[in-house]
Structure 1
Amino acid sequence: MFRHALHAVAFLSEDKIAAKVEHLKKTFRWSDAEVGIAVSKAPKLLTMSIESLQRRSEFLISEVGLEMTYIVYRPAMLMYSLEGRLRPRYYVVKFLKENGLLSRNRDYYSAVKITEKEFVEKFICPHKDAAPHLADDYGAACRGEVPARFSFT
């Protein structure tokens, strides 16, 4: 982790680090202590663009409905691809929950942090009889498309 922290700050000026910390505080409404927790767990947050952090925060807070404190302790999710990982996996989890195929209290981060292979084995394959289209819809979502079955009202 020290190596990641050193890499994150080695090429940033003190002003840029301060600006990024302020942006994290403003975007997520985190305290100084919460920013410290998040950055200590994921120092590469300091290297991410403000726009990238903004898009992920809007998705995770507005669409997924996560609390800011939830993200503080799981900041790695901010570094995952929004289009290639966060959004498609959210669609699958939401689809499964809404169709009674997955426990309502299933933790979103547990679906995001695992590898692609594990995700398919745990969330797609067990439901191939009940939702035979799920694998194709997930693949389409990973390509940036939103299949009609993933359009929630």
Structure 2
Amino acid sequence: MKKLYLFLLFLSFFSSGYLYFYDDSNFTIIPYERLPDISKEFIENNFNDYTIHNTMMSHHYIVIFKGGSSIQFNFKGEWINIIGNRNIIPFEKASRFIPSNIINTLKSKYTKINSIYKKSKGYQFKVDDGKIISFDKEGNII
């Protein structure tokens, strides 16, 4: 569990505002228009009130918003994680793309979502004070 926490902490740091200052040729800044249509649609439907700061590409796409929040997309354009980077992801925003039974469970036990990770078997959330909570696709806590 400690290794998982350290990995998620590293991933959170790496894929957030840090990328703005990271000067590695493996990351290419690209225009927003070069994102796959499904990625642009996801942002426009769920994060249209956020200001895009940078769009990058390496082995995946990364959209960094003003304030440091970020979304990673795979090459198909599907979101794979949303990092708040010290910003809260509102429950009402997350309920647009996370099943309602999972959101209801989170709302009943926690006050905020800091990060969301889509996994092959469900979802993982970083909530209050960095606690990691995992759900299967049916909404059961695992």
Band of TM-score, shorter chain:
0.3 to 0.5
What TM-score does the superposition give when structure 2 sets the normalisation length? Answer: 0.34
- Taking structure 1 as the reference length, the TM-score comes to 0.33
Larger % of strand: which?
A: 2
Higher relative contact order (CA 8 A, sep 6+): 1
